[in-house]
Chain A
Amino acid sequence: MFDLDRWREIFQAISKNKLRTALSGFTIAFAILLFTLLFGVGNGLKHTFEKQFAGDSQNSIYINSGRTTKPYKGLQSGRGIQFRNDDSKFINEKFPDKIQYFSPNIQRSMQVIYKGEQNRYTVRAVYPDYQPLESAVVEEGRFLTYLDVERRSKVVAIGRLVEKDLFGNLSAIGKNLNIEGISYKVVGVFSDPGGDNDERFIYTPFSTFQGMYKPNDELDYIGMTFNPDLNVDQAIAFSNLLTKMLKEKHNVDPRDQGAIRVRNYAEGTKNVQSFMMVLNVIILFIGIGTLIAGIIGISNIMVYIVKERTKELGIRKALGATPKSIVGMIMMESIFVTALAGYSGLMIGVFTLKALGKSLEKYFILNPSVETYVVVGATIVLVIAGTIAGYIPAKRAASIKPIVALNDE
C-alpha cells in the first residue's frame, strides 16, 4: 500500500491521463458538491423553523383565567375567574409526574428608575422554575432562588436590555433599582433567545409581589412545562385533562372557551414536527438521489477507464504484471482520485455555503451548514462505490488473457 514506486506509477498514470482523471474526479466532486449544497440549504430551512420556536421551551403550558362566557350550574356568565395559590397546589398534587417546571406568576407593567435613567418594564413575580420556562440564560450573577421566595427578598434578575437601557456599559449586579418607590437589589442579568422583548423583562420572587400588589393568595397566571418524557400526544392529552379538571374546580361550563384558557406549546410543536419531518424526508430523498446519481456516474466512468486501458494492461501483463498488481493499481488510482475529488467537492460546498450563508437569510434559509459526519459519510460512500465500481471491471481486465488485451484497439 505504501510502496513508493507503486504510487509513482499511479501518479504518472493520473497526471498523464488528464481527461479520464478529470472525468472521474468531476463526477465525484460534483455529486458531493450538490449533496453538500442541498443538505446545507435544507438544514438552513430547518434552522429557520427551529429559531421561530426557540423563544420558549417547546414543552411549555400557560394557563390564563378570564370571564365566563356561558352560564353554568346556576351561575351567570360574565363571572371572573381568579386563580389562587390553592390552584397551584391542586395542579401539583394531581399531576406530580407530568410536570417538569412550575411557576405561578404575577405580572405588572412598572416604572423603573436607576439614578437619572427610567423606563417602563414588565415585572414578573415568579418562582425560580420560570427561568427554564423562558429559556433564559444567566449572563452574570444568578437567577432567583427558592430562598429568595421564602424570604420574600426584594431582589430582581433583569434582562440584558434592561441593564443596557439603565446602566449603559456598566454592570448592574449589586445595584439597587427603584421600582415604583421600592428598592430592589439586582442579583442577575440574563439573555433570552426569544428576542428583544424577552430581554426587557424583570423577574422578582413571587412571594415578594403577592400581598403587595395582589391579595394574599391570588395570582395572575400559571406557567409550567410538562415532563419531556411525554410525547406530543400524551402532552396534549395531559393539558386537555388539566383544563377539564380546572373547569370543574371553578364551576365552568366544559364548553366555555373564555374562563380558563390553557395554551399548550405541544400543539404547535406537533405541527412543526410534522412539517420538519416532511422537510427531512425531502432532504434525505434529494440527498440519496444525488448520491445514487454520483454512484452511477462513477461506475460508468470506471468501466470506460478500464476499457480504455485494456491494451495498456495487456502490455503490463506481458511484461510480468500479476493480476493482483493490475487490480491493485486500478483500485488505488480510483480511490485516490475519488477521495481527493470528493474532498475538494466537499470543501467547495462548505465554503460556498459559508459565503452565501448571510445573503440567503431573506429566503428563510438560516445558517445553511452541513454536519461534518454527513458529508464525510457521503464522501466515503462515493469512494467505496468508486472502488467497487472500479474493482469489477479491473478484475475482469486482469483476468483477460494478455493476448486478447494486446489485440484490443
Chain B
Amino acid sequence: MIKIEKLHKSYPIGKDSLHVLKGIDLHIKEGEFVAIMGSSGSGKSTLLNIVGLLDTHDEGIYKLNGQVIENLDETKAATLRNKFLGFIFQSFNLITYKTAVENVALPLYYQGMGRKDRQKVAMKYLEKVGLKERANHLPNELSGGEKQRVAVARALATQPKVVLADEPTGALDSKTSHSVMELLKDINREGMTVFVITHEEDIAEQTDRIVRLKDGVIISDEKVNKTVTA
C-alpha cells in the first residue's frame, strides 16, 4: 500500500538547510496497523506529511497504492488525498462553524457527492463512532474525545485506503485516548490500513507494528508481540 525507498527531506532554515529525513525505507502492506515512534525532532511528523501528500519529498521513491508520487501539483495531490487518505490530527482540525455531521460530510462534498447522500453517509459514520445523537452540535459543544471521534468519522467517510493519524491521542486524557485507540483498532480489523504517529509507548503498543525513528533514520522496525489483554 505504501512503499518508501531512500526517502530524503530537508527544510531550508535561513541559508542552511535542516536534513530531517535521511534515507527512509518503509513498506506498509494493506491492512496493517503501524505506529511510527520517535521523540520530537525525529522526523516522524515530516514522514507522515509526506505520506499524507501534505508535503513533498526531495529524493527517493514514494509509491501510494502502486502509484509513484512525484511532481504532484496541488490539484492532483488534493484529488489523491481525497480519494486514498483520511487524516486524524492531534488538534482535531474540525471547522469551527460547521456541525459534527457537516464536518464529516465535507470531504464527501469535495468528492462531488450530492447533499442528501453526504448527509446519509456522514450520519452512518457518526453512528459508527457513537456520536449519532451529537450530530448537530458544533465542535465547541463537544468534548475532546468526541471531537476526535468526529475527526475519525470524517477520515473514514470517503472510505480511504489509508488512515493517517498524527498524535491522535496527544490532546486527550488516558480514558478517552483508550476509546479512540479502540476505534482505530476496530477500523483496522475491518481491513483499513492505519498509520499512527505517536511518542507514547502504550499507544504504540496497541498497534501491530512499531517503527522507531531517530534523527531522520529508522532505528528499529518490529512486530508487536500481542500479549492478549482480556
Contact = CB atoms under 8 A, between A and B. Distances in A.
Contacts of A372: none
Size bracket of the B interface: 20 to 34
Given A9-B109, A325-B110, A320 B81 contact: yes
B87 A319 contact: yes
A316 B110 contact: yes
B145 interface: no
22 contacts: A5-B109, A5-B114, A9-B109, A12-B98, A16-B98, A17-B97, A312-B95, A312-B96, A314-B93, A315-B93, A316-B95, A318-B93, A319-B82, A319-B154, A320-B82, A320-B107, A321-B110, A322-B79, A401-B54, A403-B49, A403-B55, A406-B54
A49 to B, nearest CB: 54
A5 to B, nearest CB: 6
Contacts of A398: 74
A336 to B, nearest CB: 17
A315 B86 CA distance: 12
A135 B82 CA distance: 75
Interface string A7-23: 01100110011000000
A46 interface: no
Interface in B153-199: 154, 158
B106 interface: yes
Q: Which of A17, A316, A324, A403 has the most CB of B within 10 A?
A: A403
Contact of A322 (B74, B114, B115): B74
B41 to A, nearest CB: 15
A390 interface: no
B75 interface: yes
A399 B79 contact: no
B18 interface: no
Contacts, number: 69
B207 to A, nearest CB: 22
A403 B89 CA distance: 11
Interface in A280-330: 311-312, 314-325
Contacts of B158: 320
B39 interface: no
Contacts of A318: 52, 54, 81, 87, 93
B142 interface: no
Nearest to B98: A12
Interface majority SS (helix, strand, loop, mixed), chain A: helix
A5 B98 contact: no
B78 interface: yes
A403 B79 CA distance: 16
A8 B106 CA distance: 12
Interface of B: 49, 52, 54-55, 74-75, 78-79, 81-83, 87, 89, 93-98, 102, 106-107, 109-111, 114-115, 154, 158
A204 to B, nearest CB: 81
B110 A13 contact: no
A368 interface: no
Contact of B115 (A8, A17, A319, A323): A8
B93 A406 contact: yes
Contacts of B106: 316, 319
A402 interface: yes
Contact of B55 (A8, A12, A316, A401): A401
4 closest A-B pairs by CB: A320-B82, A16-B97, A320-B110, A319-B107
B74 A315 contact: no
B108 to A, nearest CB: 9
Nearest to A400: B74
Contacts of B110: 316, 319-322, 325
Nearest to A311: B93
B81 A323 contact: no
B54 A402 contact: yes
B45 to A, nearest CB: 9
A98 B102 CA distance: 78
A317 B78 contact: yes
A9 B115 CA distance: 11
Nearest to B157: A319
Contacts of A12: 97-98, 102
Contacts of B49: 403
B90 to A, nearest CB: 10
Contacts of A13: 97
A343 to B, nearest CB: 25
B125 to A, nearest CB: 14
Contact of B75 (A5, A17, A324): A324
Contacts of A8: 115
A320 B98 CA distance: 17
Nearest to A13: B97
A320 B111 contact: yes
